[in-house]
Amino acid sequence: MNRKILIVDDSTTARMFIRRCFEIAGCWDVEFLEAADGKEGLEQAKKHNVELIVTDLNMPNMDGTSFLRRAKGSPRLNPVPVIVITSLKNEEKVRELLDLGAEDVLSKPITPTDVLETLQKIPGWGDSEEQ
């Protein structure tokens, strides 16, 4: 059975780019699910057994910070690693996101190397057979 990665971003192009970075980083045998904002992302994450979530920070309806708070506050979603992608260059915000439970915070534009380095830090992903 394929592992599932949820990509939460209001930009269709950004979701496509993120997916491609993960594929180049070695995530070939993965089912990618997509959501256009945090609200939809929470619904998708609860509906499907996702094993990794990648979220943008600035989105309509529910931003990435609120999404992260809600996901980490949910007993079901709390164990799921969350990677935040942002164009903000703010160390204080990065610390806040990490304190809220994000596995990592990547700056836009991300690269397959960024993705691979982050996956290697996450138990069960860096040593997976997809790498």
pLDDT per residue as tens digits for the range 7-26: 999 999 999 999 999 999 99
**Mean pLDDT of the chain, nearest integer:** 93
Contact 131, 119 (CB under 8 A): yes
Average pLDDT over residues 55-82: 96
For residue 130, the model assigns a pLDDT of 39
Which run of H or E residues covers position 121? helix 112-121
Structure-token pair, residue 43: 């619904």
**Does the pLDDT of residue 129 top 50, yes or no?**
no
CA–CA separation, 103 and 81 (whole Å): 6
- Percent of the chain whose pLDDT exceeds 70: 95
CA separation for the pair 120, 130 (Å, rounded): 12
Continuous H helices in 5-79: 12-24, 38-47, 64-73
Phi/psi-derived region of residue 10, left when phi > 0, alpha when psi is between -120 and 50, beta in every other case: alpha
pLDDT in tens, 75-108: 999 999 999 999 888 899 999 999 999 999 999 9
Tell me the pTM: 0.94
Number of Cβ within 10 Å of residue 51's Cβ equals: 18
